[in-house]
Amino acid sequence: MLPRRKRVGKRLFQSIFKEGTTFHSPHLLLKVREGGEGGRFSVATGKNSARKAAERNKMRRRGYALLSKQLPVLPKHAMGVLFIKKDAPLRRMEEELTLLLKRAGLK
C-alpha cells in the first residue's frame, strides 16, 4: 500500500478524471495528469470488474503493489489513477502497467 501522502485524494481524483489523458490496455486503464502536487497515484476498481468487495479489495491491493514498485522510477510531477477493469494474473498486470507508463511518457 502506498503511504497516504503518495495517494490521490478526492479533489485530485476528480480533476485527474476530468482533465487527465487516458491510456488503455485489456485489463487496465491509466489516467494521467501532470503538474501540481506530483508523485501521487491511486488505484480504483468498479463493481463491473468484481461483484464482491473482497475481490475488488484484492485487485486494488495488487494494483498498489505494482505501483509501489514503479513509483521510484516515475517523475515527481505526474499524478494518476489506475483503474483495474478485469482481474488478471499479477505478472500480466505488471507487463500492462509498464506498457501504459511507457505510452504515457512516464517511464
CATH node for 4-103: 3.30.230.10
Burial class (CB in 10 A: 0-12, 13-18, 19+), 97: buried
**Residue 38 pLDDT > 80:** no
Q: Where are the domains of the chain?
A: 4-103
- Mean pLDDT across 55-69: 93
Q: What is the pLDDT of residues 67-93, one digit of tens each?
A: 999 988 888 888 999 999 988 888 999
* DSSP bridge pairs for 81: 31, 42
Distance between alpha carbon 66 and the CA centroid of its chain, in Å? Answer: 9
Residues near 72 by beta carbon (within 8 Å), at least 6 away in sequence: none
Q: Is residue 37 pLDDT above 80, yes or no?
A: no
Q: Which pLDDT belongs to residue 88? A: 85
The structure's pTM equals 0.90
Residue entry with cell 489506475: 82
Res. 10 pLDDT band, cuts 50 70 90? confident
Instruction: Please name the helix (run of DSSP H) or strand (run of DSSP E) that holds residue 65, with its range, or none.
Output: helix 53-70
Length of the chain measured in residues: 107
